[in-house]
Amino acid sequence: MSTAVLAGRPAAPFVLPARFERVPALAAVALLPWLAVLAVCHETPWVVLDLVELTALVTLDALLRRRSPAAAVAGAAVALLLAGDALADVACAGPGHAVLAALVMAFLVELPLAVVCVLLGRAAAAGL
């Protein structure tokens, strides 16, 4: 338990620097080439999942710009989608290098992005 809680004061929430507010929009743009690759390879289920992620990221970006309290829900939704995508990628990957690539993507891209989206949503909802 933090010392602030023990002293009867609420703990200050962790707030990301302002430059992180563009991360959802940048992630959405970065997702576009990957969507094209998946579409060319006829990977329809993955295209649909990534289109939902793209929509959620753009929605989160719009809510962050408006400082809407709904950004907390959108950030949580994006995080859930990204965590589910990471889990599905690892679970469906073949043996060897495919599993390694899925794990690297999960731990270096998808899960950190999920954490950033949750923190941005919480900060917007708190008016920070």
Q: What is the pLDDT along the chain (128 residues), one digit of tens a residue?
A: 555 555 566 655 677 777 888 999 999 999 999 999 999 999 999 999 999 999 999 999 999 999 899 999 999 999 999 999 999 999 999 899 999 999 999 999 999 999 999 999 998 888 76
Q: Are the C-beta atoms of 21 and 64 separated by less than 8 Å?
A: yes
pTM of this prediction?
Answer: 0.84
**59 CB contacts (<8 Å, ≥6 apart)?**
74
Q: How many C-beta neighbours within 10 Å does residue 100 have?
A: 11
Helical ranges in 7-110 per DSSP H = 23-40, 44-65, 71-92, 97-105
**Burial of residue 123 (number of CB atoms within 10 Å: 0-12, 13-18, 19+):** buried
